[in-house]
Amino acid sequence: MKYIDSAIVKLTDVSKRYTVENLALHRVSLEVQKGEFIFLTGPSGSGKSTLLKLLFCAERPTEGTIRVDGMDISTLTPSQIPMLRRRVGVIFQDFKLLGRHTVFDNVALSLEVLGLKTSQVEKRVREIVANVGLIGKLEQKAIELSGGEQQRVAIARAVVNRPPIILADEPTGNLDRDRTNEVMELMEELNARGTTIIFATHDEKLFENTHRRVVRLENGRLVK
């Protein structure tokens, strides 16, 4: 299943059709190199979220092949999908946190599924929560935090198990400009440490002065 390739993510002629009329992606081919930070942009309904979902196997392609960190997703069995998801951190616009659980519990989840010892979990959670500036709120329930803080918890959860790839689906969509800048700084930091980032957004301000590669989707087709 593993193979040697410089691209950490590679899509070849990938199409995704939900219904006969609804073609979400049409023959998309894309390579993302290890350590790269790319922006995936396009209007609502252009296929950004679908593309990300294909990358962490929440959806399966109708056609084409996808390789993520050496794994051929089209041949993954259901029991192998958790292994892929441990290699890919995902951040959403709506945070997807367990509201009634503490910050610690939310972040620890990514490590508990790996079966790490409690002491290791505690050490790594504290480290990462300190990195995102929330160490003082470790025992606070997620629901009690502001939107920006919740997104930082979601980022901490996504990266605490040190995945080589981060998929961010409109992570700043619910945040004001200051909180957005905080999230972008965290993303830059992660990328500087070698994490590959695919950042989906329709907010062009986020990449208008950047040197990062910008990939544009329109009506399920890659246009740039």
Judged by the rule CB under 8 A, the positions of this chain that interact with other proteins are: 56-58, 78-79, 81-86, 90, 96-98, 100, 109-110, 112-117, 157, 161
Report the nearest approach of other proteins to the CB of residue 182 (Å). 23
Nearer to other proteins, 100 or 177 (CB): 100
Nearer to other proteins, 40 or 91 (CB): 91
Nearer to other proteins, 137 or 157 (CB): 157
Report the nearest approach of other proteins to the CB of residue 189 (Å). 21
Nearer to other proteins, 125 or 222 (CB): 125
Residue 89's closest CA among 186, 211, 177? 186
Report the nearest approach of other proteins to the CB of residue 181 (Å). 26
Nearer to other proteins, 197 or 215 (CB): 197
Do 154 and 97 touch, CB atoms closer than 8 A?
Answer: yes
Report the nearest approach of other proteins to the CB of residue 62 (Å). 17
Report the nearest approach of other proteins to the CB of residue 78 (Å). 5
DSSP string, 166-190: EEEESTTTTS-HHHHHHHHHHHHHH
Listed as own residue / partner, the contacts of 139-142 with beta carbons closer than 8 Å and 24 or more positions apart are 139/102, 139/103, 139/104, 140/102, 140/103, 141/99, 141/100, 141/101, 141/102, 141/103, 142/95, 142/97, 142/98, 142/99, 142/100, 142/101, 142/102, 142/103, 142/106
